[in-house]
């Protein structure tokens, strides 16, 4: 009977702590301009239009419409230039990493409103990394939240080519309900860098409320054990 009481009190203390443990957030600010998505295990750049201010050795054009191999004054660039920009970022070990890339668009994607030839396009896409960011995490040009900066109300390049015709690549529109589509690689669109994995982070520390409840449970157990010993002596 005494063993059951001890187990019961321990279970109560542990269950109380679990009950108040905060649910894990999906988008986590890791600092240093890095935002981690624990759904997909990828890390986004906080600056969704870094190319407008950092070209990583590429030429920036004077106007908004870039020439071949150039980045426009607003950050627009062709698909090929976007990949060169990413390569420059990795060569510079930007933010301490060398595995930056353009977001992927996984196909087939049955979550999209449009389906054709095994390819998913249109609204509501969640299979692609940008579709997930928009439709699951709710990150849009109109509502970038407190985590992201410079999200453009325009199309962003995916790093995934369109399999039926590799002269075009997938892209995503971060405005007006979000739209997954394809575009000719020479079109000047925006680029948003992402990388697989998280950054080094310290172990999670329980919140004060959790520690207080745990402490209260332990104090209660100690008091009960002392009372129990006193009863046995008498």
For the entire predicted model, the pTM comes to: 0.76
What are 9-34's pLDDT values in tens digits? Answer: 333 333 333 333 334 448 999 999 99
* pLDDT bracket for residue 110 (50, 70, 90): very high
Smallest CA-to-CA distance from 46 within 199, 216, 176 is with 199
Place of tokens 């004054």: 73
117-162 pLDDT per residue, tens: 999 999 999 999 999 999 999 999 999 999 999 999 999 999 999 9
For 43-80, the pLDDT digits (tens) are 999 999 999 999 999 999 999 999 999 999 999 999 99
Name every residue whose Cβ is closer than 8 Å to that of residue 155 and which is 6 or more positions away in sequence.
171, 172, 173, 174, 181, 183, 187, 189, 190
Strands 59-60 and 194-196: unpaired
Mean pLDDT of the chain: 83
Query: What are the domain boundaries of the chain?
Result: 27-196
Q: How many CB atoms lie within 10 A of CB 116?
A: 10
pLDDT of residue 19: 32
pLDDT of residue 200: 74
Residue (of 208, 189, 6, 221) closest to 103 by Cα position:
189
């Amino acid at each position: 009977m005494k063993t059951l009481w001890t187990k019961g009190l321990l279970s109560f203390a542990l269950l109380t702590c679990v009950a108040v443990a905060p649910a894990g957030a999906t988008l986590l600010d890791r600092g240093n301009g890095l935002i981690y998505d624990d759904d997909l295990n990828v890390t986004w750049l906080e600056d969704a239009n870094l190319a407008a201010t950092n070209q990583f050795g590429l030429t920036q054009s004077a106007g908004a419409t870039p020439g071949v191999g150039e980045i426009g004054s607003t950050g627009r660039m062709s698909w090929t230039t976007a990949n060169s920009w990413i390569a420059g970022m990795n060569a510079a070990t930007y933010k301490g990493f060398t595995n930056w890339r353009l977001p992927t668009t996984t196909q087939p994607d049955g979550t999209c409103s449009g389906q054709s030839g095994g390819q998913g396009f249109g609204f509501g896409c969640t299979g692609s990394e940008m579709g997930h960011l928009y439709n699951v995490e709710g990150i849009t040009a109109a509502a970038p939240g407190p985590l992201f900066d410079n999200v453009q109300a325009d199309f962003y390049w995916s790093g995934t080519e369109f399999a039926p015709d590799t002269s075009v690549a997938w892209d995503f529109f971060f405005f007006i309900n979000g739209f997954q589509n394809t575009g000719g690689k020479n079109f000047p669109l925006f680029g948003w860098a992402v990388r697989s994995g998280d950054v080094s982070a310290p172990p999670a520390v329980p919140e004060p409320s959790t520690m207080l409840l745990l402490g209260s449970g332990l104090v209660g157990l100690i008091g009960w054990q002392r009372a129990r010993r006193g009863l046995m002596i008498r």
